Structure 1
Amino acid sequence: MHMLKTIRLDASDALVFDPAAEPGEWAVSGAFAFADAAPEALTGKSAQAFRNGFLGIGSFGRSTLAVVASIDEPAFEHLVDALAAHFVDRYGAPDLDAARPVAREEVRFAAALCEHPVNTLIAVERELGDEGIVERFRAIKHDTPGDHAPVWEIADDGA
């Protein structure tokens, strides 16, 4: 089974999200956080989170990118429980039993985005449409392994 995990390729997430997700957290779309947001309230960092942020489960911060990763059933169930607890704590769900089916649907939706090989990067774009929030997901594939510029060069120091 596959699931999304947050990934940080540079320091930009820490600058544009409040808070930024930690690298390596399991992630969901998190669009539910904006379900009742007034368009004029989405400014600055909240606008960036709305437009391009996955929700990391743990910090409940945002990440610009997520990566497809393998997950086992116990970890999947733990993720559902953690998100259900967040729904109770942050969004006022009456209890875990009421929140768990909604959390499971959110986690299943994220898992359904992972029909790509492990380590495929996934990006999200959101906008407000006539019917509410419209999400588009894009897989960013690197087709040629090893086809990148070297980060640094190793030179013999003569020792």
Structure 2
Amino acid sequence: MLKLPRTIRLDPSDTFVFERAAEPGEWAVSGAFVFWNRDPAALNQKQRVALRSGFLGIDSLGWSTLAIVTEASEAERQAMVEHLAGQLLEKFGAPDLEAARLAAEEEVAFAASLCDHAPQTLLGVQRSVEDGEIRERFRTLRPREAAAGAVSLHTHASAFTFHEVEGDDEPAEQVDLPGMIRTDSMTRDRG
């Protein structure tokens, strides 16, 4: 079974901080390509937030602060590629469907590479522009073993009651999402 990211909404903040929030449960990609060849200084506040910390939902082309590692079939992966290819052709000016498919395959492969974690692991991204290039750092937030199956794409009320980050020394009862996200990270650069 493959693993791919889906958008998740733990609270309503995505609907306030992004121009368009992704719906919970959409297949997601990094979305950094949206900002290629764009001057960060020319972006409005909500676009800058998406640049800094958003995953792109491929159905709505909306943004999500977090994504969740989800098992997927090869048919779902292929449908994700085809749908993203269509979006790249229609909304982002890909020259033809073949070029759009190649780009979509690359984006989906990169998204899959972020999911080398147990299902239900939450992913966060932090982007910066350094020397004119977008640099992405990804972080993970893992559920406790006893509650690993309790996270749902559509339920969020209890999500903070059982999540912890590996290596976090704070008591489990205290929730500091920014602090939790900082502790387990990986940096992925694409050339």
The answer to whether TM tops 0.5 is yes
Superposition TM-score, scaled by structure 1 size: 0.89
Corresponding residue of 1:10: 11
Q: CA deviation at 1:144?
A: 5.3
For 1:1-159, list aligned pairs within 5 A. 1-143=2-144, 145=146, 148=162
CA contact (8 A) 1:54 1:66 kept: yes
Equivalent pairs counted in the alignment come to: 149
Large movers: runs of 4+ above 2 Å: 142-149
Q: Tell me the secondary structure at the aligned position of residue 143 of structure 2.
A: coil
Instruction: State the distance in 1 between where 2:65 and 2:146 align.
Output: 23
- Counterpart of 1:100, as a letter, is R
CA offsets per residue over residues 104-152 of structure 1, 9 Å max, x none?
0000000000010000000000000015000000011233535646xxx
Inter-partner Cα distance in structure 2 for 1:63 and 1:138 = 14
For structure 2, the 5+ residue unaligned runs are 148-160, 163-172, 174-191
Larger radius of gyration: 1
Tell me, yes or no, if the aligned pair for 1:21 and 1:61 is still in contact at 8 Å. Answer: yes
Q: What is the root-mean-square deviation of aligned Cα atoms in Å?
A: 1.4
Percentage identity across paired residues of the two chains = 49
TM-score when scaled to structure 2?
0.75
Q: Which has the higher contact order (CA 8 A, sep 6+)?
A: 1
Unmatched runs of 5 consecutive residues or more in structure 1 = 150-159
Q: Secondary structure at the match of 1:141?
A: strand
